[in-house]
Structure 1
Amino acid sequence: MTHNPFSRSLRARLVGATLSTTAIALAALVFLVALRSGQTLSEQAQEISRWSETQLSGRLLSDAKLAAARLQMQREDVERRFATIAKRWDVSTAVFSGNTVAASELMRPALALADLDGVIAFDQNLRALTADRVEADLLTANTAIGRTPLAAALRAIIARNDRERSTGFVMSLRWDAAVAGALAADETGSFVDVFGQPLFDEFGEVIGGLVGYRMLRPREEILTAFNALSGRDVFILAGSRLLSSAGAEMPDATLGVASAAGLQAIVGTEKVARCIPAAQDTRLCVAAPLQELEQIKNKVVGIGEASSRSLLTTLCVVAGLTLCLVAIVLLFLSSHITRPLVRITRTVAEVARGNWHVAVPDVRREDEVGDIARAVVVLEHSLAERDQLRDDVFAKNQILTEREAQLEEQNERFDAALNNMSQGLCMYGANGHLKVSNEQFLHIYGIDTKALGPTLTQSDVWSLAGLGHLPVRGRAGAQGRVTTATLADGRHIEITVQAMADGGWVETHEDVTTSVIAQARITHLATHDALTGLPNRALLTERLAEAFSEYAGGGGAAAVICIDLDDFKGVNDTLGHPAGDDLLRQVGARLTALSSPGKTVARLGGDEFAIVLSGSDLPDGAMRFAEEALAQLRRPFFIADQFVSADASLGIAVSDENDSDGEDLLRRADLALYVAKADGGRRVRAFEPEMEERQHHRRWIERELRIAIANGQIELHYQPLFELATNTVTGFEALARWRHPERGMISPGEFVPVAEATGLIDALGVYVLRTACAAAMGWPGSLRVAVNISPTQFRDGNIHRIVEEVLQETRLPSQRLELEITESVILSQDQATYQMLTELRRLGVRFSMDDFGTGYSSLSSLNSFRFDKIKLDQSFVRNLMERDEAAAIVHVVAELGRSLKITTTAEGVETEEQLARLRASGFSEVQGYLLSRPIPAAEVAGFILSQSNLSVAA
């Protein structure tokens, strides 16, 4: 093979041009990097100066916060030790023993352990009792305590009166004459930490408060320890006055103006400080020498300069290595580029002899590429015609192949669609003969595949399918016709006939048995109860309309009986909902068996049923039927492997000539049922016009009561409670009175049950509670107010929050509020109710069990929840003098109160004999008309004034 000089010249030019360009670019890059590095170092020096100041400021700020945290930890540790001293029983005993020498001797060792400078004790009236020093000036403390914030703080911790959750106070004060006098201290200083804790007696009642103090030391040990660990000077300033310091001696600490980073120079020293605010307008500062700031700056600048030098050195080395690498790569590539060019020249010459599919670029070149181009041009002219002919033949073959594939695909799709239809299909031609059918059609009717052929007509096909009983419809009149056929085996087939343009038609056959059954099921469910299978309210309305139609046509009267089970909830709660469902099904079965074909038994929902009767023997026949139904329902039911009793209440309404439709009849029967349940249940009641009048009156009361509550028409009268031991008034029971603007006074026995039944008791209860608490704030001393709480007020689960909001709003102390509840609240066994009672107990309110002795489990109620008072029901007091049993019960209740340390109150005292007997039995309080009737709110103040020296006759 001869050597080609073209490859040598091309290689030399490629290598030389690339190396020279790369060298120039690398040299320019190194120069620019060096120039920019110098500028960056200058800018960094300025930025580092600011950064160094910020870094030092941040360190000093962290140290200041740490020092402040240590001071706070020291204060909290002293507080815990002081709280331990206050809770000691011997300290409380010594303080209130009156022996100041013993008290001071007892407290001095404890004060040393608690790191306190002194202590002083006060009683509930903030009178100084004793101090750690016998010679302490307690008279001065009595007068000075009121001029300091300590008085309010002491009253607050004494007023809480809760030994289980007792809390004290901690405050930092400037030391002045008032504080020194209040603490009976002879120390001098600048600031002092004062600690307060309540003192309790052995019964858990608050009896006073204990106050300790600790002066701020000029050299606090905890700050000195912090200085030893961190090397920082720490000092506390009040303005420019130095209060305490640790570290270098600093007689004066005048600070300069703060920098942007928060640093302040200490005048006269080579130090800077960072301060944070502390208690009572003081500042805690941490100082460091200025030399530390310069060290941070120089260290960071040196790192930047070394980094720049290293970067330039590395860049120069990388540039040299890059030039060497580029040279090697270029030599390698040039060698592999020129040699293929020689091979391409020879290959192209070969292609020119037989391969004519070659592009011809640069035909005017005088090198090997030009030789290749000219050789290919010679071949192109001779082979052009042959190439065109071959391409035409190939294109036509391709078109035929594609059309054949499309036809085959269409046939496959038609077969797949035809045989995978959910409906059976038959296509008939214009001559009425079968043209096409699918497998689904054969499957629906069970026809053999070989039985169908192109000679069969529609009549023949339908005969094979078992549809011969249907008229044959095809061609004319077949447009869009839909027929539903019922086969001998009970299946339902929907047949749709659709005409075609050529005169033939298409039939589709679909098995709709499932849809027909489902539709029938839906229709049944829409008119029947799913649990019992009885007619529901909708079907009952239709049957009532039919009964009224018969009545209008002279067929007799119509009647409705409404039935409600009395013990259904008990079955659900004790045996579970499945047992309740079984009970409802058995009740429906008994009522259905009892009813004749002319009667309709329906379930209205829940445990309520209704029966529609019609005939000529009404209403006597309806009453007999209702009594017989009640007797049947009283028979035990066998449920969950046991016999269960479930009684019922029934209401009857019979139509008359004034009735317009069945809805009014059903409403009257439901009203009669309501009266039956209100009378105690387990009975039958027929509708009477008076029932509707009472219902209208009830609705009137509901409507007017809603307006009265909103407009503040409800008045509160207060009946006093007298303590027999002291013959004084201890409190008042708030009683709601409604003075209607048109009908005058309305009895609570008339409107309170309506309020409880309609939910208005919530708004009424809040109104009474807020009004009573606000009124009690105007009473002198510690007179309590008692408010009745209905069991329904616990329904929404927020009664404890309502009481708390009212106490906060009226500012009434919680111990002056007494809530009267009946034992039905406790007997509900509801966890949410117990939680609300517990929350109310934590507020500090008192609890009284009202109507004690009238429930089923009064003693178990006392065992379930701690009451402060039990109120004996007035029925026992009323029979006290006539029945020995009542007298015995009164005596037992009094003994029970003494044993449980619970206040006992007797209500309804009306005679002197009753009062004497109650006093002899040992009752704590009495209430009744003998002593005072309920008093309007405006007259309570005058009554209290007139009764201040009341003496109840023995």
Structure 2
Amino acid sequence: MTRPPFLRTLRARLVGATVSTAAIALAVLVSLVALRSGQTLSEQAREVSSWSESQLSGRLLSDAKLAASRLQIQREDVERRFATLARRWDVAKAVFSGNTVAASELLRPALALADLDGVIAFDLNLRALTADRVDADLLSANAGLARTPLSAALRTMMARNDRERSTGFVLSLRWDEALARALAADETGTVVDVLGQPLFDDFGEVVGGLVGYRVLRPREPTLAAFSALSGRDVLIVAGPRLLSSAGAERNGVVLGEPSGAGLRAVAGADKVARCIPMAPSLRICAAAPLRELEQLTGKVVSIGEGSSRSLLSTLWAFAGLTLLLVAVVLLILSSRITRPLVRIAETVSEVARGNWHVAVPEVGRKDEVGDIARAVVVLEHSLAERDQLRDDVFRQNAALTEREGQLQEQNARFDAALNNMSQGLCMFSANGRLKVFNAQFLRIYGIAQGALASDPTHAEVRRLAGLAEAPGTGTVPPGPTATATLADGRCVAIRVQPMADGGWVETHEDVTASVRAQARITHLATHDALTGLPNRVLLAERMAAAISEHGRGGRAAAVICLDLDDFKGINDTLGHPAGDELLRQVGRRLTALSPPGSTVARLGGDEFAVVLSGSDLPDAAIRLADEALVQLKRPFLIADQLVSADASLGIAVSAEVDADGDHLLRRADLALYAAKAEGGRRVRVFEPDMEERQHQRRWLERELKLAIESGQIALHYQPLFDLTTNAVTGLEALARWHHPERGWISPGEFIPVAEATGLIDALGAYVLRTACTDAMDWPGHPRVAVNISPMQFRSGDLDQLVEQVLRATRLPSRRLELEITESVILSQDRATYDMLTRLRRLGVRFSMDDFGTGYSSLSSLNGFRFDKIKLDQSFVRNLLEKDEAAAIVHVVAELGRTLRITTTAEGVETPEQLARLRASGFSEVQGYLLSRPLPAAAVPRFLLARNDLIAAA
């Protein structure tokens, strides 16, 4: 039988059909795998993009919070340093001494350490006292303070503080023109931190407040350092306005709307940012390049695409091999394996679809079909192992990619941190060879860039840096920290940190400025900035040492307190620079006079102190004090003028029971006070009764304050009589104090205390208001005369007080007569003269009290127009006994008639005195002969009776 051609046989058709079917199945399988792989990659790309955006948003949020924390830490550090500055007693002393130059010299280095732009001090009345700059406009600060929130904050702080519970305030404010003027500042900015702290005097009382400020920088150093370390841009914005930035240079910034992950696009820059609120209307943002997000997403997607391409290539190769194998087997063994081959082909189809664990038939056959079946089994195992291997490779590639990114980021941060450190850094191996160094190390020691490229030893590095060679070779230098002084005078702090492998790390920091500043601060803390003499702190140490020596059986100690007389007159006539030069020359003369081993110190203002030790005290102290009086009278050449200085001195000698130097210094102060009370220009030695008088004075101060507040002060009124008509023209208000325990206290005792302590303002206001109120009930409408102390003119608002009282009591201004002494006119103070002029415009009358007792009464009458002159009662007492007194009385009467001024004689006690005064031509008289001072309730009855008497006559 002839065989048909092969192409027409069943075998050929079977082979063709089988091969075609297998080819189509494999093609469909590869296409489905390719389609599913593409869909999987798209889904993974979206998930990776969302995950990458979330990760970047979280990192930027952490960076923004960290940057805000850095700013808060800086702010708290500035606040703490400023509080320390405000609690220093020398700062309070310098501020309230009135010496702007000394205060500025003391505050400037302290401000640099506290990282403040400026500082200004205010008293309890919120008036600016001084600032860190000598040229600060304090008048403008006084005018602008009330228009800022600082006024209320300062008043609240000073009202609630004491030394035991000192609290300040911190305000974050918009920087505007009013705030800058209130702080006497010349800085510009947008936001400012304002810090306030109370100031205390030696008795622990609040005497004012110290206000510091720090304007937000366009490029904050703290944020710039953080940006350099983190690689992020840091922005501080208020609405659309950029206030401060760190990182890339920017003039403005516009942020888009936040995405689902909280990211905002930065307009005009290929970056995204994450923001958090920092303060009311302020936000702080951390920005990163957009390519960071794109790179992370692209890397993950590219890995998936590569894996898919590899899988498809493998599938196409496997399909080709399978088709070829099927064709060959079918051609050779088709007669024997057609049926088993179909089953095996089905099995292969399952394997092609990814089911690599299907059971393969005919595995036990010993022929080729069995071999094919077993080959299919091997193929299943190979594909399963390859799939597992592919998964392992994918996971390893992902881990390696992540690790590579972390290493690159760490290396970038390490390089940025190393080369942007403020300290120089060197790392040495265990054998003493240099392994790592940064650019700051080269800059500190002036080493050329390539000088350290040959892996030098520790000794060679120190020689190049100009440092003394450390003992030992190839080992860690002894001691963890050392300070080296270079040939050019700079100081470098070197810190050594050993490592576990035997090497070590050195950090080198140029601390020249801090060392010099510390030395300057140490000197200023113990010495007076103006004279260079020891200050109160160093004086206390010297006194403590001297008293301790005396307590151990050694020599006694003495303190001399010296205060210049009429130092204010020198400042007023020659100026404050001349006064400062006088203080310096006085300090030099006292130092030259003092024996070796003694201490000459300036306590403040024009007050000095000398501490002596010896066995012949107090005689040696008295001799030194007398010699100081003589030497100070010798002329000083100041501002091309010869100036002499007088002084008052107080001496106190230590006893073995003295506990500390403060007690000794207080006793010397009491002796000095006694010398000044006796007219000055003399020396007084401490006596025990001085301390008792001081205690009495303190008691009187406290009781007087309570008396004014509780209304214990009563007013009596002494009438003034017209010598022509015998009518009462007016009544003089006199303050009387009846203490619940001590009874009546003389005005001569409590008025000087009120003037010395500042209570005269409250007392004067009380007397003026009460007198005007009482005068409204007097029949006949006589005038009321009120004495005004010269101390009341210091506040600068006496005219406002008088106007308010007249308006409140409705007393006509022509019925109010103010009695002042000629010392007010002799002060030649323009502000005082303007105040008197404003009072005269109100219609108030003026009377010169105690006329004739001053040395320049006539010049006083020429300088200001008075309505009345009151002759002092000392002339009236001697009117009948001394011809000189009678002549003066006659001249004063003639002067009053010539100038058309009312003349009043006080202290009239006898009919003879009244007759002589009437004959001399005086206008008015006042005295016990006519009427004693009357209580306020008795005045109306007295006036009615007096008017009835005159009407009857």
TM-score (norm 1): 0.53
Q: Is the 8 A contact 2:646 2:681 kept in 1?
A: yes
Aligned residue number for residue 548 of structure 1: 547
Q: Within 5 A, what are the aligned runs for 1:424-443?
A: 424-436=424-436
Change (3 A) 1:726 1:432: closer
Cα-to-partner distance string for 1:18-53 (whole Å, 9 max, x where unaligned): xxxxxxxxxxxxxxxxxxxxxxxxxxxxxxxxxxxx
Aligned residue number for residue 654 of structure 1: 653
Q: CA deviation at 1:405?
A: 15
Q: Is the 8 A contact 1:728 1:950 kept in 2?
A: no
Cα-to-partner distance string for 1:508-550 (whole Å, 9 max, x where unaligned): 3344334322222221122111111111111112112211221
Aligned length: 557
Change (3 A) 1:927 1:424: closer
Residue type of the partner of 1:796? S
Q: Is the 8 A contact 1:459 1:472 kept in 2?
A: no
Residue type of the partner of 1:457? T
State the alpha-carbon separation in 2 of the partners of residues 838 and 452 from structure 1. 82
State the alpha-carbon separation in 1 of the partners of residues 404 and 731 from structure 2. 107
Aligned residue number for residue 243 of structure 1: none
Change (3 A) 1:590 1:794: same
Aligned residue number for residue 882 of structure 2: 883
Is residue 726 of structure 1 aligned with residue 725 of structure 2?
A: yes
Is residue 645 of structure 1 aligned with residue 644 of structure 2?
A: yes
State the alpha-carbon separation in 2 of the partners of residues 486 and 776 from structure 1. 81
Q: Is the 8 A contact 2:721 2:925 kept in 1?
A: yes
Q: Secondary structure at the match of 2:916?
A: helix
State the alpha-carbon separation in 2 of the partners of residues 651 and 768 from structure 1. 37
Which structure: larger Rg? Answer: 1
State the alpha-carbon separation in 1 of the partners of residues 468 and 805 from structure 2. 87
Cα-to-partner distance string for 1:321-380 (whole Å, 9 max, x where unaligned): xxxxxxxxxxxxxxxxxxxxxxxxxxxxxxxxxxxxxxxxxxxxxxxxxxxxxxxxxxxx
Aligned residue number for residue 700 of structure 1: 699
State the alpha-carbon separation in 1 of the partners of residues 768 and 859 from structure 2. 28
Change (3 A) 1:869 1:475: same
Identity %: 77
State the alpha-carbon separation in 2 of the partners of residues 760 and 578 from structure 1. 32
State the alpha-carbon separation in 2 of the partners of residues 599 and 653 from structure 1. 15
Is residue 845 of structure 1 aligned with residue 844 of structure 2?
A: yes
Aligned residue number for residue 351 of structure 2: none
Q: Within 5 A, what are the aligned runs for 1:749-898?
A: 749-898=748-897
State the alpha-carbon separation in 1 of the partners of residues 455 and 730 from structure 2. 110
Q: Is the 8 A contact 1:493 1:513 kept in 2?
A: yes
Aligned residue number for residue 634 of structure 1: 633
Q: Secondary structure at the match of 1:597?
A: coil
Change (3 A) 1:931 1:523: same
State the alpha-carbon separation in 1 of the partners of residues 442 and 463 from structure 2. 13
State the alpha-carbon separation in 2 of the partners of residues 607 and 537 from structure 1. 13
Q: CA deviation at 1:872?
A: 0.9
Change (3 A) 1:731 1:489: closer
Bigger CA drift: 418-427 or 940-949?
A: 418-427
Q: Is the 8 A contact 1:819 1:847 kept in 2?
A: yes
Unaligned runs of 5+ in 2: 1-315, 317-402
Aligned residue number for residue 603 of structure 1: 602
Q: Is the 8 A contact 1:558 1:612 kept in 2?
A: yes
State the alpha-carbon separation in 1 of the partners of residues 775 and 417 from structure 2. 89
Unaligned runs of 5+ in 1: 1-384, 386-402
Q: Is the 8 A contact 2:432 2:473 kept in 1?
A: no
Aligned residue number for residue 675 of structure 2: 676
Aligned residue number for residue 576 of structure 1: 575
Q: Is the 8 A contact 1:426 1:436 kept in 2?
A: yes
State the alpha-carbon separation in 1 of the partners of residues 892 and 579 from structure 2. 41
Q: Secondary structure at the match of 1:910?
A: coil
Q: Is the 8 A contact 2:551 2:657 kept in 1?
A: no
Change (3 A) 1:951 1:906: farther
Change (3 A) 1:493 1:816: closer
Aligned residue number for residue 667 of structure 1: 666
Aligned residue number for residue 131 of structure 1: none
State the alpha-carbon separation in 2 of the partners of residues 583 and 546 from structure 1. 30
Change (3 A) 1:827 1:509: same
State the alpha-carbon separation in 1 of the partners of residues 407 and 696 from structure 2. 87
Aligned residue number for residue 51 of structure 1: none
Change (3 A) 1:486 1:909: same
Q: CA deviation at 1:458?
A: 2.5
State the alpha-carbon separation in 2 of the partners of residues 447 and 598 from structure 1. 49
Bigger CA drift: 734-743 or 428-437?
A: 428-437
Is residue 616 of structure 1 aligned with residue 615 of structure 2?
A: yes
State the alpha-carbon separation in 2 of the partners of residues 718 and 804 from structure 1. 22
State the alpha-carbon separation in 2 of the partners of residues 680 and 755 from structure 1. 20
Aligned residue number for residue 906 of structure 2: 907
Q: Is the 8 A contact 2:431 2:474 kept in 1?
A: no
Aligned residue number for residue 934 of structure 1: 933
State the alpha-carbon separation in 1 of the partners of residues 412 and 664 from structure 2. 69
Residue type of the partner of 1:661? D
Q: Secondary structure at the match of 2:521?
A: helix
State the alpha-carbon separation in 2 of the partners of residues 668 and 411 from structure 1. 70
State the alpha-carbon separation in 1 of the partners of residues 572 and 605 from structure 2. 14
Aligned residue number for residue 923 of structure 1: 922
Cα-to-partner distance string for 1:739-773 (whole Å, 9 max, x where unaligned): 22322222111111112212222222233223333
Q: Within 5 A, what are the aligned runs for 1:35-434?
A: 423-434=423-434
Q: Is the 8 A contact 1:731 1:784 kept in 2?
A: yes
Residue type of the partner of 1:517? R
Q: Is the 8 A contact 1:566 1:647 kept in 2?
A: yes
Aligned residue number for residue 139 of structure 1: none
Change (3 A) 1:589 1:431: same
State the alpha-carbon separation in 2 of the partners of residues 408 and 916 from structure 1. 114
State the alpha-carbon separation in 1 of the partners of residues 452 and 576 from structure 2. 60
Bigger CA drift: 423-432 or 626-635?
A: 423-432
Residue type of the partner of 1:772? A
Q: Secondary structure at the match of 2:850?
A: strand
Change (3 A) 1:437 1:775: closer
Q: What root-mean-square deviation, in Å, do the aligned CA atoms of Structure 1 and Structure 2 show?
A: 3.7
Q: Is the 8 A contact 2:779 2:944 kept in 1?
A: no
State the alpha-carbon separation in 2 of the partners of residues 660 and 536 from structure 1. 21
Residue type of the partner of 1:427? M
Q: Secondary structure at the match of 2:701?
A: helix
State the alpha-carbon separation in 2 of the partners of residues 437 and 766 from structure 1. 75
Change (3 A) 1:417 1:796: closer
State the alpha-carbon separation in 2 of the partners of residues 671 and 599 from structure 1. 21
TM-score (norm 2): 0.54
Is residue 715 of structure 1 aligned with residue 711 of structure 2?
A: no
Q: Secondary structure at the match of 1:660?
A: coil
Cα-to-partner distance string for 1:654-706 (whole Å, 9 max, x where unaligned): 11133211111111111221221121111111111111111111122222222
Residue type of the partner of 1:927? Q
Q: Secondary structure at the match of 2:778?
A: coil
Q: Secondary structure at the match of 2:889?
A: helix
Change (3 A) 1:887 1:490: same
Aligned residue number for residue 318 of structure 1: none
Change (3 A) 1:840 1:426: closer
State the alpha-carbon separation in 2 of the partners of residues 668 and 767 from structure 1. 35
Q: Secondary structure at the match of 2:835?
A: helix
Q: Secondary structure at the match of 1:602?
A: strand
Q: Secondary structure at the match of 1:770?
A: helix
Q: Secondary structure at the match of 2:525?
A: helix
State the alpha-carbon separation in 2 of the partners of residues 446 and 944 from structure 1. 97
Q: Is the 8 A contact 1:435 1:454 kept in 2?
A: no
Bigger CA drift: 903-912 or 435-444?
A: 435-444
State the alpha-carbon separation in 2 of the partners of residues 409 and 682 from structure 1. 79
Q: Secondary structure at the match of 2:597?
A: coil
Cα-to-partner distance string for 1:210-262 (whole Å, 9 max, x where unaligned): xxxxxxxxxxxxxxxxxxxxxxxxxxxxxxxxxxxxxxxxxxxxxxxxxxxxx
Q: Is the 8 A contact 2:477 2:496 kept in 1?
A: no
Q: Is the 8 A contact 1:433 1:454 kept in 2?
A: no
Q: CA deviation at 1:889?
A: 1.6
Is residue 485 of structure 1 aligned with residue 471 of structure 2?
A: no
Q: Is the 8 A contact 2:674 2:690 kept in 1?
A: yes
Change (3 A) 1:498 1:725: same
